[in-house]
Amino acid sequence: MRVLSGFRRSHTQGRISGTLILGVSILLVIVLCSVIGPFFVNPHNAHVGAVQPRRPPSAQFLLGTDSQGRDMLTLLIYGTPNTMKMGLIAGFIGVGLGLFFGLLAGSFGGIVDAMIRILADALLTLPAIAILVIIAGNVGHMTTNIMALVVASLSWMFTTRTIRAQVLTIRERSYVEVARVNGESAFEILFKEITPNLLPFIVASFVGTVGSAILAVIGLEALGLGALEETTLGNTIYWSQQSAAVLRGYWWWWGPPIVVIALIFLGLFLTSIGFDRFANPKLIRRT
Amino acid sequence: MSRELAGYLLGRFGQLLLIVFIAVSVNFLIPRLLPGDPVQTAIAKLQASGAQQSVDVQTVMNSYRAKYGLDQPMIVQYLNYWRDLFRLDLGVSFANFPETVTTKLANALPWSIGLLAVATLIAFTVGSILGALLGWPGTGRGIRALVPGLMILTSIPFYLLAIILIYLFAVIWKILPPAGGMDTTRIARLDWGTVLDVLRHALLPLLAIVLGNVGFWALGMRSQMVSVLGEDYITFAEAKGLSPWRVFFWYGIRNALLSQVTALALAMGSVMSGAVLVEVIFNYPGLGSLLYVAIRGQDYFVIQGVVLMLIVALAVLLFIVDLIYPLLDPRIRR
């Protein structure tokens, strides 16, 4: 009940905006479809040759079938959670690494700070796909989990920058000064005074990192570097490209995965805008 | 040129060198850090895939071993790698032996640079003007109604937008070609026919990148404009009785544009990643398609070459953006 009343108060104060509700709802609907979807379809239909190939959407195949004889609806229901999973794993690892490096750079300063900052800035400016291609291309047997790790290796820089900048400003606040005078050790100050105040930035970085990780995963999959034996949204698009589905007019093959991908990104995008306003109520007065 | 400006330019040039250094080192190290011999792995994959190859890979491999001395210490290999780079020697293509990687890159580079530069310029200009209008209190409702559309466009990866565009313009309406850089039957000459043909083929890829990016610039510019308009110097300019248009262009846009240019430096990497994939979707004869074909055919040196080229091209583009920055912001010049 306390959570509910807290929610109502935040809502009337304008902290929980329509944007945040819409964004989170879109993501929840996608997650819900991935959870209950498998009860309504036969997983066998996601295999090559399970159903008649090249059927347009009909009562029997709601979203049609591809030219290898796979049911599109089944592919979508099993592919979406795989794609989301890769984004979430990469997001957790990326934000974890970013938090670690950011705290390290922000609290130690000096040469450690300089090295982390220069490396993060340089890697941020590179086209991620170029480095990921080299890594992914040298992996012997690709799976969705390895894919998540590959993408995570380049997902930490943005969080590092955000956290570092925040640590630097929070360190100068008066309550940290009070804690220091009270005799708290540097370690205590870092984890009891600074880290709790980083929470909004960690959540915001997480939403952003998941988004860019999914973008990178789908990009690598479109190049044919994905885990081709597994069902994901990016692989579905890769196969449709391989069969020239666009030119042959099979819109039901590439259309639905594009719509789901767009919805995932829209959900993440709206959530991050809405969360900005939630975490930083000053924005409400300005706009 | 003042000392500060010289220091700024020197620092930016240092960053350019650092990026190139990291790129070369990553390109060298990653295949060697992963288990197994990189060339051995590449050739095993090549043979397993049964991809078409016009060369006895064993010969290439032996000459490669002799040349790079894979039995020598890592540091010697690394120095040799740099030496060959300075000689523009990036190895040969397995798939089109004896064509060198350098020739392949030289053929693809103009297409990519042209597409990326023009698309980014259009998206940046249109997006920034649109965003400035959106952040201006006097703008009508008609333009404001664009915001949700811009948000949706921003959230779709633009190579997926490319698929939709091909379907609409090339499959349903059949008014633009679905793929390629120019007609396959055309012999490239510098005449109007060729130029028009190239433009006709570039239109859809260009549209995909512009549509996918314009929202990002518009939304960024809007929030910058809102915060700039809250500054004291805007109130002062209005109080002086300057015309709204002068305040809008000379005081508003000019200041809001500064962080847009900073954002340009940070966003170029992801724009380039997206453009590579747009090229793949359109089979456009640039670096992206070269990379795709090389990945499909396990053409090891070509993959490495394209990756290096992408990173160096980006670093140079960033350096150019950094050179423009002092022109926009007189505070750096002083």
Mean pLDDT in residue range B147-157? 86
pLDDT top residue among B211 and B2: B211
Two structure tokens written together for A160: 């590092």
Query: Do the chains contact at A247 and B166, CB–CB below 8 Å?
Result: yes
Q: Is B137 helix (H, G, I), strand (E, B) or coil?
A: coil
Q: Assess whether pLDDT exceeds 80 at residue B247.
A: yes
Q: Which residue of A has its CA nearest to B227?
A: A286
pLDDT top residue among B322 and A88: A88
ipTM over 0.90: no
Amino acid A77: pLDDT: 93
Amino acid A2: pLDDT: 59
* Residue of B27, B292, B318 lying closest to A125 (CB–CB): B318
Amino acid A287: pLDDT: 45
Q: Which residue of B has its CA nearest to A254?
A: B163
* Residue of A135, A212, A223 lying closest to B295 (CB–CB): A223
Phi and psi at B161, nearest 5°, equal -60, -40
Q: B126 to chain A, minimum CA–CA distance in Å?
A: 22
CB-based contact, B171 to chain A, within 8 Å: yes
Kindly list the domain boundaries of chain A, sorted by start residue: 17-43+61-281
CB-based contact, A146 to chain B, within 8 Å: no
Amino acid B70: pLDDT: 63
Asked if residues A194 and A104 have their Cβ atoms less than 8 Å apart, the reply is: no
B318 interaction partners in chain A (CB closer than 8 Å) = 125
* Residue of A125, A138, A237 lying closest to B269 (CB–CB): A125
Query: Do the chains contact at A122 and B270, CB–CB below 8 Å?
Result: no
pLDDT digits (tens, 9 = 90+) for B251-276: 888 888 888 988 887 788 888 888 99
Euclidean distance between CA atoms A247 and A235, whole angstroms: 18
Amino acid B68: pLDDT: 58
Amino acid B179: pLDDT: 83
* B:202-231 residues touching chain A, CB 8 A cutoff: 226-227, 230
A222 interaction partners in chain B (CB closer than 8 Å) = 159, 277, 280-281
Q: Assess whether pLDDT exceeds 60 at residue B133.
A: yes
Asked if residues B97 and B253 have their Cβ atoms less than 8 Å apart, the reply is: no
Q: Which residue of A has its CA nearest to B21?
A: A122
Angle between helices B38-49 and B300-328 (to 10 degrees): 120
pLDDT digits (tens, 9 = 90+) for B278-306: 999 999 999 999 999 888 877 778 888 89
* Residue of A219, A224, A261 lying closest to B296 (CB–CB): A224
Euclidean distance between CA atoms B230 and B85, whole angstroms: 51
3.40.50.720, 3.40.50.2300, 1.10.3720.10, 4.10.640.10: which CATH number matches A17-43+61-281? 1.10.3720.10
Euclidean distance between CA atoms B313 and B120, whole angstroms: 14
Query: Average pLDDT for consecutive 10-residue bins of chain A (287 residues)?
Result: 63 76 94 90 82 83 83 92 96 96 89 89 81 81 91 93 91 87 87 87 93 93 88 92 88 92 93 83 57
CB-based contact, B236 to chain A, within 8 Å: no
Amino acid B67: pLDDT: 59
- CA B318, B323, B326 angle in degrees (round to 5)? 130
Amino acid B56: pLDDT: 66
Q: Assess whether pLDDT exceeds 60 at residue B192.
A: yes
